[in-house]
Amino acid sequence: MTPASASSPRLTPQDYLLRERDREEKYEYENGKEIPVGGATKEHNQIVRNLLTSIWNRVGDRGTMEAYASDMRVYCPSISKYYYPDLVITEGKEVYQDDTFDTLTNPVILIEVLSKGTEARDRTVKFEAYRSIESFREYLLVSQGQPRIEGFYKNEKGEWILLDPVEGMDRHFSFQTVELAVPLEEVYQRVKL
């Protein structure tokens, strides 16, 4: 993804949302600028599919959790930024920006699959923006090139804690804020590494 040209006009969050809902391409929004969401590799799509399947197979029958892949827009209300995380997990009543129900304001867990083009933003700008969401409790960064998941979670004091990365097809990643563990073997099933 490349930020929009510095010479392009600044958009209000409301203008962005109106434009976004009326087009096929996806753009994220930061500080008055639209940022195109580029296409994903085959491996990226496989990992997102596998993660969604693995997570849903474990939480789908709980009735209190929901999981969305790639097209669920997330709004950071206090800083007026919009993003499309690779996976969004909610727990309890979902809150949307308006009655169109396409812009979630209270995700609990956000997951990004890293690529060369997005890794720096996923680790910095986006993570910082996500942390402004009050309900947000856990963040996963999933490697596209090796079986590896990095996790961050917010403890009871509101501090963000970095977990040791989990690496290897024979390992499980255990979430810290919900009762859930996913085997990396499932996450990377049929993915050419």
User: Which sequence spans correspond to the domains of the chain?
Assistant: 40-187
Sign of CA dihedral 66, 53, 163, 172: positive
Average pLDDT of 4-8? 50
Amino acid occupying residue 22 = D
Sheet holding 81-83, edge to edge: 33-36, 27-30, 81-83, 73-76, 103-104
pLDDT above 70: residue 119? yes
Assign residue 171 a region (left: φ > 0; alpha: ψ between -120 and 50; beta: otherwise).
beta
CA distances from 135 to 30, 61, 118, 170 (A): 20, 22, 24, 32
User: So what CATH class is 40-187?
Assistant: alpha beta
Average pLDDT of 108-115? 97
pLDDT tens by residue, 59-89: 989 889 999 998 999 999 999 999 999 999 9
186's CB contacts (< 8 A; 6+ apart) are: 50, 53, 54
pLDDT at 8: 63
In what helix (H) or strand (E) does residue 102 lie, and over which residues does it extend? none
172's CB contacts (< 8 A; 6+ apart) are: 166, 181, 182, 183, 184
